[in-house]
Structure 1
Amino acid sequence: MGAVRVTAVVVTFNRLELLQRLLERLEGVPALTEVLVVDNASTDGTGEWLATLDDRDPGAEHPTVRVLGRTLVENSGGAGGFHDGLAWAMERGADLAWLMDDDGLPDPDCLDLLLEQTGLDFWGPLVVDEATPERLVFPIRLPGSTRTVHRIADVEAAARDGRIDGIVIPFNGVLVTRELVERIGLPRAEYFIWGDDHEYRLRAEAAGARIATVVGAQVRHPAVGDLGTPMAFGRTTYNHSPSDLKHYCMARNNLLNLREYKGWPHALAFVAKTMWFYTFTRPSPARIALSLRAWWAALRGDFTGHRRFLA
């Protein structure tokens, strides 16, 4: 059997400096076969810069990991970007796809630590706050528990053999096998953002995929808002975002995810939780109205409503 082909898939939109920082890091990762960049119709010169990479010759002046770029005709969000990028990686013969956004930065040993794991289908690193590295960007609800943790120390205490089985935070430096992609398909492009990654994990779980988070492997990432905001007298948390676009997509997509994979009781509980949060925890009649529009769109199968928030 030949060497395992590991292909990084990076989705980017209007963050050229962060993309360049990330690619500089990835080009120095020996285990990578190549890097595929999907540009979501950026307007900051990203597409033009990516086009210049096609003329690079490998050698002493350039990294040896090949970087290929593809610019989409319109912004399809992270969901559309990963849908196209993962399909591209499979077409090019990847055995493993390493999926990530442009604003994360894997530690130099991140991929090596992930590849040390065996017997997994879908696994990834901890995603830590680049400004406060002892904190997680995306809080983790520990499997088999109602406890949500925000600090690396709490995750390390719960880990067994250096990992936590049954949980992964896609798409921030996660590895997915070709076999699993062939079994469950590609991310749902119509979701645009927020919820597409969660749906892919739920679909993987439903297919019996072996999932884990590797505690020693880390990706540095900017803070993303008040994820895991306490509510209901501290008995639970809510993933609040200041962005109306993100909230609309989260409300729409999460309702669909819960209905399909957990059932209507969980979906209705999410509705009640949202109403509580924006009635009592952070009162906002505008957010309640926005949530209602998103849920109505979800029930009608309408995936166009988010476009009103795009510049």
Structure 2
Amino acid sequence: MGPPTRVVAVVVTFNRLELLQTLVRRLGEIPGLAEVLVIDNASSDGTDTWLAACTATGDIPVRSRSLATNRGGAGGFHDGLAWALDTGADLVWLMDDDGLPDVDCLPLLLEHRDDLDFWGPLVVDESDPRRLVFPIRLPGGAKVAHAVDDVRRAARGDRLDGIVIPFNGVLVTKELVERIGLPREEFFIWGDDHEYRLRAEESGARVATIVTAAVRHPSVGNLGTPMMWGLTTYNDSPSDLKHYCMARNNLVNLRDYRGPLHALAFVVKTVWFYTFSRPSLSRLRLSAGAMRAGIAGDFEGHRRFLR
């Protein structure tokens, strides 16, 4: 029998100290973890002071690094994943500060350590665990599941192959990271997790959701506004920062993984939405600037929206 698998949790946080404290306490209750690494994205709410005094949760060591500037979830997971591998991790458990895994979440995921490369739990609404926070398009068709029971009925045994919601309690193997590299830190937010999943799938990674395992997460509300007479939806965030990153990064992902026609379709969809569905000249200009930046490989424009 070989050496035990070393599992390291990586948590990325920004200005949500209370949520972070709850999550770190929970990680101390979960069996199977060797260490917790926290990447603080230059928080200004006392997170750095609390982390400096936090050396363990339960019997599990806790270490932290505070970044000099806010580099978003993408930069945080880029650095955190690299750090975990430097500690000798065999598996890295990636999560944001606003998720809360059930105590049995990691043990249930680890039952599949020998036959998966990139896999995670269901992400359920903390106020109604029967509902998914991020709906799942079921394999083999167009049906989108919003209820946990629908996903479990579609699964084979305790897993749904070909689907995973990163980075909400997802496990990734050292071998996969060595094969495909680290998340794209320049994306800042929005689309970095999707790009990493696409890259993993392109490399032949074995991907799945374990439907008996769960991470509880605050509701994110409606993830799409209906458009084109209800035939489709559009991610319309009130935040200029989020919209800029979404428009830029989504266009890049579509170009790189689906081809120029899909990228062009996204441009047309954006123009339609802000011309007819929710007319806004300012949003059209913002979208156009973000898309031009993505095509040019300029990933600095979002910084003007940071506070």
TM-score, normalised relative to structure 1: 0.94
Q: What residue in structure 1 maps to residue 163 of structure 2?
A: 167
Query: 1:241 Cα deviation (Å)?
Result: 2.2
Q: What residue in structure 2 maps to residue 79 of structure 1?
A: 74
Structure 1, unmatched stretches of 5+, are: 57-61
The residue type equivalent to 1:116 in the other structure is: E
User: Structure 1 residues 147, 268: closer, same or farther in 2, change over 3 A?
Assistant: farther
Query: 1:190 Cα deviation (Å)?
Result: 0.4
Q: 1:29-178, aligned counterparts within 5 Å? A: 29-54=30-55, 63-117=58-112, 118-178=114-174
**Contact 1:96–1:175 (8 Å) recurs in 2:** yes
Q: What residue in structure 1 maps to residue 23 of structure 2?
A: 22
Q: 1:140-289, aligned counterparts within 5 Å? A: 140-289=136-285
Query: 1:278 Cα deviation (Å)?
Result: 2.9
Task: Name the CA distance, whole Å, in 1 between partners of 2:283 and 2:151.
Answer: 32
The residue type equivalent to 1:211 in the other structure is: V
CA RMSD of aligned residues (A): 1.4
Task: Name the CA distance, whole Å, in 1 between partners of 2:138 and 2:227.
Answer: 19
Task: Name the CA distance, whole Å, in 1 between partners of 2:25 and 2:133.
Answer: 23
Identity %: 70
User: Structure 1 residues 283, 156: closer, same or farther in 2, change over 3 A?
Assistant: farther
Task: Name the CA distance, whole Å, in 2 between partners of 1:111 and 1:27.
Answer: 12
Moved over 6 A (4+): none
User: Structure 1 residues 154, 235: closer, same or farther in 2, change over 3 A?
Assistant: farther
Task: Name the CA distance, whole Å, in 2 between partners of 1:280 and 1:134.
Answer: 35
Task: Name the CA distance, whole Å, in 1 between partners of 2:126 and 2:278.
Answer: 27
Q: Which moved more, 1:197-206 or 1:222-231?
A: 222-231
Task: Name the CA distance, whole Å, in 1 between partners of 2:278 and 2:103.
Answer: 40
CA displacement 1:228-261 (0-9 Å, x = unmatched) = 4433333333333222211110110010011011
**Contact 1:195–1:250 (8 Å) recurs in 2:** yes
The residue type equivalent to 2:10 in the other structure is: V
Query: 1:103 Cα deviation (Å)?
Result: 0.5
Task: Name the CA distance, whole Å, in 2 between partners of 1:292 and 1:307.
Answer: 17
Where 1:171 maps in the other structure, the secondary structure is: coil
**Contact 1:130–1:220 (8 Å) recurs in 2:** yes
Pair 1:303-2:304 in alignment: no
The residue type equivalent to 1:80 in the other structure is: G
Where 1:97 maps in the other structure, the secondary structure is: strand
Where 2:92 maps in the other structure, the secondary structure is: strand
Q: Which moved more, 1:171-180 or 1:161-170?
A: 161-170
User: Structure 1 residues 141, 230: closer, same or farther in 2, change over 3 A?
Assistant: farther
Q: Which moved more, 1:211-220 or 1:156-165?
A: 156-165
User: Structure 1 residues 287, 136: closer, same or farther in 2, change over 3 A?
Assistant: farther
**Contact 1:28–1:65 (8 Å) recurs in 2:** no
Task: Name the CA distance, whole Å, in 1 between partners of 2:267 and 2:154.
Answer: 30
Q: What residue in structure 1 maps to residue 288 of structure 2?
A: 292
**Contact 2:31–2:106 (8 Å) recurs in 1:** no
**Contact 1:130–1:221 (8 Å) recurs in 2:** yes
**Contact 2:93–2:172 (8 Å) recurs in 1:** yes
The residue type equivalent to 2:217 in the other structure is: H
Task: Name the CA distance, whole Å, in 2 between partners of 1:273 and 1:194.
Answer: 18
User: Structure 1 residues 139, 288: closer, same or farther in 2, change over 3 A?
Assistant: farther
Query: 1:32 Cα deviation (Å)?
Result: 0.4
Q: Which moved more, 1:25-34 or 1:126-135?
A: 126-135
Query: 1:224 Cα deviation (Å)?
Result: 2.1
* Aligned length in residues: 305
**Contact 2:31–2:107 (8 Å) recurs in 1:** no
Structure 2, unmatched stretches of 5+, are: none
The residue type equivalent to 1:196 in the other structure is: D
The residue type equivalent to 2:22 in the other structure is: R
The residue type equivalent to 1:105 in the other structure is: L
The residue type equivalent to 1:106 in the other structure is: P
User: Structure 1 residues 237, 216: closer, same or farther in 2, change over 3 A?
Assistant: farther
User: Structure 1 residues 262, 129: closer, same or farther in 2, change over 3 A?
Assistant: same
